[in-house]
């Protein structure tokens, strides 16, 4: 005993000793009321100072794992040994419900290709951490902690951190959104906001309408909430309005989900004219709209296009989901829902029941960073870098890939479509063996079997030379597969 202790460099030695002895007690190697080695004896056995052992034993006593008999030494406390009385095995696969099984089936991360070291990966559309503004993030943390650090480390409010809420309301006002009768809820990023909204809506018809293809995370959550999905084809300037109107006239929908700007996965920005017509259609058929404000800030050319919520005016039929995850720091899990005040009241209660609140520390750091005026400066730098990568990736695609259609008006990715019948799953397998991977497009389509001829190329975290090399390999391999 005590001969398998291994010291690590990353933690105080006394804590490591305390936890080591604690594990021996929990596993039953040291029994209740058994005398522990003296501090002098254990310091010799472990080749460390006696003061370290004294500190470790004091920690064991504080944690309730040991007690001291004055004049005799330290002993193992009663009722802490957890030696198994019996081996009890359950088949959890038989115990989980259909919801859990479906979640596993839809979990692409568990079935995706694992990139080996050195692989050129076009799968990510996360921001490039090399651009992160660490000095100003540290300053924001220090500034906010100095003002109200004790408060930030305690429980917060389900609705969110008020200074951030006020900032985001002004932010949405500057986007042209009429805030009359509306309110805002802070969430753990887009995904939680979407999940909360879906859980609050009636499933009278059990159906939702959206663009096709669309955001895979949205498809996954819609299915987990039991919605039947009707996908409407995309055109060069956004959703096909004729097909949309036909679907609306044929069937009743509980809600619609749209990504009008830098659409995921196509990268298309819906035209202002199409946005106006779209909102008139949704008003006529009284279908509430969930708008995903994905990547709105990553505009590289052309004029600003207002959100669908701005086109709704004082109407309350649009629920806006916002996040800075693709622009700023996804590690700060902060998003927001802007919607009718009455709906937000319901969503706040759902949020409180599920997760109590979003990290107040995360919210406060983001608020202070924004308040300090860093966002605009960072955004200029990020836009310049991503625009350069976007143009280089587009140039490489045009030079090397024998595509039928290439789309992407900004953001962090391009969408490639080959001729019908071409299979990008086969292409992915062939490219993977050459050290290049991408996201096959079929995962973004609302029906199984669709989009097998498409793929998404995320370029934000790929080095310039790897963009050129990787796309050349994709293009050459595609030509070989096409014969």
Q: Running along the chain, 483 residues long, what does each successive block of 10 average in pLDDT?
A: 82 92 88 92 91 94 92 85 66 90 87 81 92 92 90 92 96 94 96 96 94 96 96 96 97 96 93 94 97 85 82 94 88 94 97 94 94 91 93 97 94 95 96 96 94 97 96 97 89
Contact 343/198 with Cβ under 8 angstroms?
no
* Extended strands (E) in 405-449: 405-407, 413-417, 436-437, 439-440
Q: What is the DSSP letter of 259?
A: -
The torsion angles phi and psi of 247, rounded to 5 degrees, stand at: -65, -40
The torsion angles phi and psi of 107, rounded to 5 degrees, stand at: -80, 95
Contact 309/341 with Cβ under 8 angstroms?
no
Q: Which CATH class is domain 111-130+377-482?
A: alpha beta
Q: What is the DSSP letter of 455?
A: E
* Extended strands (E) in 225-328: 228-235, 238-239, 255-258, 289-292, 318-323
Q: Residue 50: is it exposed, middle or buried by C-beta count within 10 angstroms (0-12/13-18/19+)?
A: middle
Bridge partner residues of 406 (DSSP): 416
pLDDT at 78: 84
The rounded distance, in Å, linking the Cα atoms of 118 and 101 is: 34
pLDDT at 88: 77
pLDDT at 85: 57
**Architecture of the 133-372 domain:** 3-Layer(aba) Sandwich (3.40)
Helix (H, G, I), strand (E, B) or coil at 150: helix
13-76 under CATH 1.10.10.10, yes or no: yes
The rounded distance, in Å, linking the Cα atoms of 244 and 250 is: 10
The rounded distance, in Å, linking the Cα atoms of 216 and 439 is: 11
pLDDT at 405: 96
Contact 231/305 with Cβ under 8 angstroms?
no
DSSP states along 60-106: HHHTTSEEEETTTEEEEPTT-----SS-----HHHHS-HHHHHHHHH
Q: What is the pTM of this model?
A: 0.88
187: part of which helix (H) or strand (E)?
strand 182-187
Cα→Cα distances 27→83, 84, 88, 288, Å: 6, 9, 17, 57
212: part of which helix (H) or strand (E)?
strand 207-212
Cβ neighbors of 136 (< 8 A, separation 6 or more) are 369, 372, 374, 378
338: part of which helix (H) or strand (E)?
strand 335-340
| CA-closest candidate to residue 305, choices 413, 410, 401 | 410
Radius of gyration (Cα) for the chain, nearest Å? 28
Contact 265/442 with Cβ under 8 angstroms?
no
In the chain, where the domains are located: 13-76, 111-130+377-482, 133-372
């Amino acid at each position: 005993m005590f001969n398998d202790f291994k010291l690590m460099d990353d933690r105080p030695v006394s804590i490591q000793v305390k936890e080591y002895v604690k594990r021996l007690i929990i596993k039953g190697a040291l029994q209740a009321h058994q005398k522990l080695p003296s501090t002098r004896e254990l310091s010799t056995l472990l080749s460390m100072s006696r003061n370290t052992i004294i500190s470790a034993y004091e920690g064991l006593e504080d944690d309730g794992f040991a007690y001291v008999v004055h004049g005799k030494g330290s002993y193992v406390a009663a009722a802490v040994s957890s030696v198994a009385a019996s081996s009890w095995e359950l088949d959890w696969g038989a115990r989980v419900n259909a919801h859990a099984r479906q979640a596993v089936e839809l979990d692409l991360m568990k079935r995706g290709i694992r990139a080996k070291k050195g692989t050129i990966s076009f799968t990510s559309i996360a921001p490039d951490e090399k651009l992160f503004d660490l000095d100003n993030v540290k300053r924001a943390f220090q500034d906010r902690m100095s003002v109200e650090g004790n408060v930030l480390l305690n429980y917060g409010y389900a609705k969110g951190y008020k200074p951030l809420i006020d900032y985001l309301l002004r932010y949405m006002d500057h986007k042209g959104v009429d805030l009359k009768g509306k309110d805002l809820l802070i969430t753990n990023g887009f995904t939680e906001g979407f999940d909360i909204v879906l859980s609050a809506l009636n499933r009278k018809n059990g159906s939702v309408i959206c663009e096709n293809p669309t955001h895979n995370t949205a498809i996954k959550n819609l299915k987990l909430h039991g919605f039947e999905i009707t996908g409407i084809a995309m055109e060069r300037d956004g959703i096909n309005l004729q097909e949309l109107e036909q679907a609306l006239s044929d069937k009743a929908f509980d809600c619609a989900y749209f990504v009008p700007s830098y659409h995921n996965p196509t990268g298309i920005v819906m035209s202002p004219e199409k946005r106006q017509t779209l909102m008139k259609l949704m008003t006529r058929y009284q279908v509430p709209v969930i708008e995903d404000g994905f990547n709105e800030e990553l505009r590289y050319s052309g004029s600003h296009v207002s959100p669908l919520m701005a086109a709704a005016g004082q109407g309350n039929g649009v629920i806006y989901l916002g996040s800075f995850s693709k622009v700023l720091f996804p590690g700060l899990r902060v998003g927001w829902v802007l919607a009718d005040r009455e709906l937000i009241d319901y969503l706040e209660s759902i949020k409180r029941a599920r997760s109590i609140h979003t990290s107040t520390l995360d919210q406060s750091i983001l608020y202070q960073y924004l308040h300090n005026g860093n966002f605009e400066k960072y955004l200029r730098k990020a836009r310049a870098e991503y625009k350069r990568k976007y143009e280089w990736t587009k140039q490489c695609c045009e030079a090397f890939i024998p595509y039928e259609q290439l789309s992407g008006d900004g953001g962090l990715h391009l969408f490639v479509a080959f001729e019908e019948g071409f299979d990008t799953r086969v292409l992915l397998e062939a490219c993977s063996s050459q050290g290049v991977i991408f996201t096959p497009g079929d995962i973004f389509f609302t029906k199984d079997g669709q989009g097998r001829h498409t793929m998404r190329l995320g370029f934000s975290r790929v080095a310039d030379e790897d963009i050129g090399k990787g796309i050349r390999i994709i293009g050459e391999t595609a030509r070989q597969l096409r014969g």
